Amino acid sequence: SQKIEQNSEALNIQEGKTATLTCNYTNYSPAYLQWYRQDPGRGPVFLLLIRENEKEKRKERLKVTFDTTLKQSLFHITASQPADSATYLCALVVNSGNTPLVFGKGTRLSVIA
């Protein structure tokens, strides 16, 4: 069966450290992978998109990697700050079918001062 799994429901990290979140998928052939941030009581906000032929993407303190062999994406936040505390969702755009985005359940990140 098709699955998207984000490594843990919750991740606590000390301020200043690098947070690493994992997104694994099975039985999908994604063309793209996206990462979104969701704050409590709000809708998801787009952060980064990475294509299947790209290994890495960066935006300020954010870095995303995409390994289609391992079927995994890693999302890194360097020099993490308490303001980075939120739920982070990965989403796949698959090569077949009409469904535009398939979301993982998210990882709730807490950055402790």
CB 30 within 8 Å of CB 104 = no
Nearer to another protein, 82 or 100 (CB): 100
> Least distance in Å: CB of 7 to another protein?
15
Cα-based distances in Å from 41 to 30, 44, 92, 109? 29, 10, 23, 16
> Least distance in Å: CB of 51 to another protein?
9
Nearer to another protein, 17 or 73 (CB): 73
CB 91 within 8 Å of CB 36 = yes
Selection from 106, 104, 108 nearest residue 2 by Cα: 104
Three-state DSSP state, 5: strand
> Least distance in Å: CB of 101 to another protein?
6
Q: Which residues bind another protein (CB under 8 A)?
A: 31-32, 34, 41-46, 49, 87, 89, 93, 98-103, 105-106
> Least distance in Å: CB of 83 to another protein?
19
Nearer to another protein, 65 or 107 (CB): 107
CB 62 within 8 Å of CB 76 = yes
Nearer to another protein, 41 or 113 (CB): 41
